[in-house]
Amino acid sequence: MSQELIRLTNLVMEFDGERILDSINLYINDKEFLTLLGPSGCGKTTTLRVIGGFLTPTSGDVLFDGKRINDVPAYQRKINTVFQRYALFPHLDVYDNIAFGLRIAKLSEAEIDERVTEMLEIVSLKGFENRKVTSLSGGQQQRVAIARALVNRPKVLLLDEPLGALDLRLRKDMQNELKRIQQAMGITFIYVTHDQEEALTMSDTIVVMDKGKIQQIGKPEDIYNEPKNAFVADFIGESNILDGVMLEDYKVKFFGRVFSCVDKGFAPNEPVDVVIRPEDIDIVSADEGHLCGTVTSVTFKGVHYDTIVDFKGFKWLIQTTDFCPEGSHIGIRLNPEDIHIMHKSEYSGMFGDYSSYSAEYDEIADAEVTEDEE
Amino acid sequence: MKNKSKWLSGPYVLWMVLFTLIPLGVVLYYALTDSVTGEFTLSNLANFANYWPIFLRSIWLSIFATLICLLIGYPVAYYIAHCKPALQRLLQMLIMLPMCISFLLRTLAWVALLEDTGIINNFLTSIGLSALPLIRNNGAVILGMVYNYLPYMILPLYTVIMKIDHRLVEAAQDLGCNSRQVFAKVTLPLSVPGIVSGITMVFVPAVSTFYISQKLGSPGTILIGDVIESQFKAAYNPNLGAALSLVLMVLIFVCVGIMNHFTDSDDEESMVTL
């Protein structure tokens, strides 16, 4: 039903000999909400800029509706962009900012007026026509930027971390708003973010990127439930990642014990990464558990407790609503569907150990992210 | 805290009172008194009508020179602003280099170049061509103004153009502008503050200059600055000189005011200067 609109084939981008994008292959369907997700410097913004026409790839092709558009300049593409930090024209008021693209396209003033008014309504900025853009709040500027792009009725809208500068509450509202607009107008959205929760909430398809490569493409549920490697497992949500050996189909061994699982298709005795999501673990009394360990730290997170449990020197993160005091001896049970098996990758051993866990972990990670690419 | 920091501006306020406001009062006093009797009179001010043609010449020569500076300066500033940072610094220094040499010396150097028996004409006659009337005309005066004041046009333009956010250019491209439209719709409107301060910084000194016209002009092309100077030095009529300065000042205020009006309407930051 859905038709392919954009295709990237073997896309390579190099700056000063440094490889920023490494053979990106990706197709994007019409009317799809696709998110490029990854940490700073993973190449997601570069990919977006190649699609927008602001960068020419070193090699590889960009196809739009089956036609190669590598050499088509940005202004001739049926694509519009919502820029990071908006890039509104400071010398124009709200109305003229939104009307900018239509005036360039030389539409009649009557039609411009009709479309701008309609757009102002969609982004709930009626009555702000003659306000200076510099006098608007971040959220309002954001809406102007979206209106300015959408008023041109592009086939594709590119959004580069559009909600990054907004506070949490506003961000949540705008997420719903954007999804609603996308569905109402039937436009393809290509969305860049480092916020995994945002990606999971809004997308039809998520493309996880790191080090200039695509790590995994899939629906939000698939990305979360079936991560392809340790990087994806760690970047999307929290994960405990352990070394294991796949004895045969549906049988995996780790911590010296054989567990049944739902994965198959691995070579006999293949070393694997075992992912266990912290919220999937059931806490039981020590004598009933598959494994027993000692609680080393408990952090209250609102909905749940982040409980760090030491199993034979390897620390797990367990998210539970049951409070287990520090020092208590507990057991855990794992159901077959809680265990996810991944092939070993270059990321094996880099993630999923909570030995150095601290309660400030999240804030530290965020601070790193705000330093930004570019 | 606030009260304390206010005192830091004290020395300059004192300086301004001593060397700007009081002298202005003195100028006003001279302009409104008779040179012989010392009584109040408006005749000095009324006298400016006799010098009206000279006022007009000063203004149109300066406007002309300012426009040429803008036409030459804008592309240069635009080019420098888009160079690599190291090259930018070098070019910026080259632009400022002439400003490190005495204004008088630079103007005299032009005399040596343009004179009837100067370097250019000597060269022309030596290869068998006839000498050209390069000096003592309006063209030479305008050339002198452009040469001397061009850096004051380029530098504010460069500063403003360099600060234009490149993402605005990309946003314009994204919305369908080709490079010519990007310039017309974004770059040029956003560089208006630089244009205004550049024009002000060239026009104001050009309109009141006297040395350039003395050296490069002819008695027929004297400017209002020359007249004012001669009232203090040769003719010794400081009352008339003061009156003429006062009129000139008002004219400059009017010109600058008109110019700022262009930008006030759409941008409060229009008074950005160097």
pLDDT score of A304 more than 60: yes
Question: Do the chains contact at A85 and B167, CB–CB below 8 Å?
Answer: yes
pLDDT in tens, B144-166: 999 999 999 999 999 999 999 99
Q: How far is B190 from chain A (nearest CA, A)?
A: 7
- Among residues A224, A249, A279, the one where a domain terminates is A224
Query: What is the dihedral sign for C-alpha B226, B229, B234, B238?
Result: positive
Contact residues, chain B, for A74 at CB < 8 Å: 170, 173-174
pLDDT score of B31 more than 60: yes
pLDDT confidence bin for B272, thresholds 50/70/90: very low
Q: Report yes or no on A185 lying in a domain.
A: yes
In chain B, the domains with their CATH numbers are: 50-271 (1.10.3720.10)
Strand-pair partners of A24: A11
Strand-pair partners of A320: A305
Question: Do the chains contact at A89 and B186, CB–CB below 8 Å?
Answer: yes
pLDDT in tens, B246-256: 999 998 888 88
pLDDT score of A373 more than 70: no
Side-by-side strand order, sheet with A18-29: A18-29, A4-15, A59-64, A67-68
pLDDT score of A67 more than 50: yes
- Same structural domain, A62 and A137: yes
For residues A361 and A269, give the distance between their C-alpha atoms in angstroms, rounded to a whole number. 35
For residue A2, the model assigns a pLDDT of: 67
DSSP-assigned letter for residue A227 = -
Other Cβ atoms less than 10 A from the Cβ of A367: the count is 10
CATH code of the domain covering residue A351: 2.40.50.140
Contact residues, chain B, for A87 at CB < 8 Å: 165, 167-168, 170-171
For residue A358, the model assigns a pLDDT of: 56
Question: Do the chains contact at A74 and B186, CB–CB below 8 Å?
Answer: no
Average pLDDT over residues B60-70: 94
Q: How far is B167 from chain A (nearest CA, A)?
A: 6
Average pLDDT over residues A358-370: 45
pLDDT score of A210 more than 90: yes
Which are the contacts of B126, defined by CB distance < 8 A and separation ≥ 6?
A: none
Contact residues, chain B, for A53 at CB < 8 Å: 173
Q: Report yes or no on A65 lying in a domain.
A: yes
CATH code of the domain covering residue A108: 3.40.50.300
For residue B274, the model assigns a pLDDT of: 33
For residue A171, the model assigns a pLDDT of: 87
- Same structural domain, A149 and A273: no
Question: Do the chains contact at B189 and A91, CB–CB below 8 Å?
Answer: yes
Q: Which of B84, B174, B188, B263 to mutate to test the interface with A (most CBs of A within 10 A)?
A: B174
For residue B263, the model assigns a pLDDT of: 63
- Same structural domain, A187 and A60: yes
Q: How far is B9 from chain A (nearest CA, A)?
A: 31
- Same structural domain, A220 and A242: no
Segment among A28-37, A144-153, A246-255 with least mean pLDDT: A246-255
Letter string b/e over residues A58-89, b meaning 16 or more CB atoms within 10 A of that residue's CB? eebebbbeeeebeeeebbebebbbbbbbbbbb
Q: Report yes or no on A230 lying in a domain.
A: no
Q: Name the more confident of A83 and A2.
A: A83
Domain region containing A167: 4-224
Question: Do the chains contact at B175 and A75, CB–CB below 8 Å?
Answer: yes
Query: What is the dihedral sign for C-alpha B5, B7, B11, B13?
Result: positive
For residues B190 and A87, give the distance between their C-alpha atoms in angstroms, rounded to a whole number. 13
Average pLDDT over residues A286-308: 86
- Same structural domain, A57 and A149: yes
- Among residues A187, A202, A224, the one where a domain terminates is A224
Question: Do the chains contact at B266 and A73, CB–CB below 8 Å?
Answer: no
Q: Which residue has the tokens 């009837």?
A: B116
Using alpha carbons, select from A308, A322, A316 the residue that is nearest to residue A274.
A316
- Same structural domain, A59 and A145: yes
pLDDT score of A42 more than 60: yes
- Same structural domain, A267 and A350: yes
Which are the contacts of B257, defined by CB distance < 8 A and separation ≥ 6?
A: none
Average pLDDT over residues A100-114: 95
Residue A21 carries which side chain, given as an amino acid letter? L
Nearest to B176 among A52, A75, A89 (CB): A75
Q: How far is A248 from chain B (nearest CA, A)?
A: 54
Q: Report yes or no on A138 lying in a domain.
A: yes
Q: How far is A88 from chain B (nearest CA, A)?
A: 7
Contact residues, chain B, for A76 at CB < 8 Å: 176
Q: Report yes or no on A229 lying in a domain.
A: no
pLDDT in tens, A154-198: 999 999 998 887 888 888 888 988 898 899 888 999 999 999 989
Other Cβ atoms less than 10 A from the Cβ of A47: the count is 29
- Among residues A185, A201, A224, the one where a domain terminates is A224
Per the structure, the count of domains in chain A is: 2
Using alpha carbons, select from A131, A99, A134, A97 the residue that is nearest to residue A116.
A99
Nearest to B168 among A89, A105, A149 (CB): A89
Average pLDDT over residues A262-278: 88
Q: Report yes or no on A352 lying in a domain.
A: yes
Average pLDDT over residues A285-297: 85
- Same structural domain, A214 and A247: no
- Write down the mean pLDDT value for chain B: 88
Contact residues, chain A, for B168 at CB < 8 Å: 87, 89-90
- Same structural domain, A156 and A277: no
Is the ipTM of this structure higher than 0.90? no
Which are the contacts of B125, defined by CB distance < 8 A and separation ≥ 6?
A: B131
Which 3-state string (H, E, C) describes B97-160? Answer: HHHHCCHHHHHHHHHHHHCCCCHHHHHHHHCCCCCCCCCCCHHHHHHHHHHHHHHHHHHHHHHH
- Same structural domain, A281 and A196: no
- Same structural domain, A289 and A192: no
pLDDT confidence bin for B131, thresholds 50/70/90: confident
Using alpha carbons, select from A367, A336, A369, A332 the residue that is nearest to residue A249.
A336
Nearest to B176 among A52, A91, A101 (CB): A101
- Same structural domain, A47 and A170: yes
For residue A281, the model assigns a pLDDT of: 87
pLDDT in tens, B159-214: 999 999 999 999 999 999 999 999 999 999 999 999 999 999 999 999 989 889 88
A&B contacts, CB < 8 Å: 62
Nearest to A104 among B167, B181, B189 (CB): B181
- Write down the mean pLDDT value for chain A: 87
pLDDT in tens, A125-144: 899 999 999 999 888 998 89
Q: Report yes or no on A59 lying in a domain.
A: yes
For residue B273, the model assigns a pLDDT of: 37
Q: How far is A74 from chain B (nearest CA, A)?
A: 6
Q: What is the pTM (predicted TM-score) of this model? A: 0.80
Q: Report yes or no on A232 lying in a domain.
A: no
Q: How far is B172 from chain A (nearest CA, A)?
A: 8
**Shortest CA distance from A100: residue in chain B:** B175
Contact residues, chain A, for B180 at CB < 8 Å: none
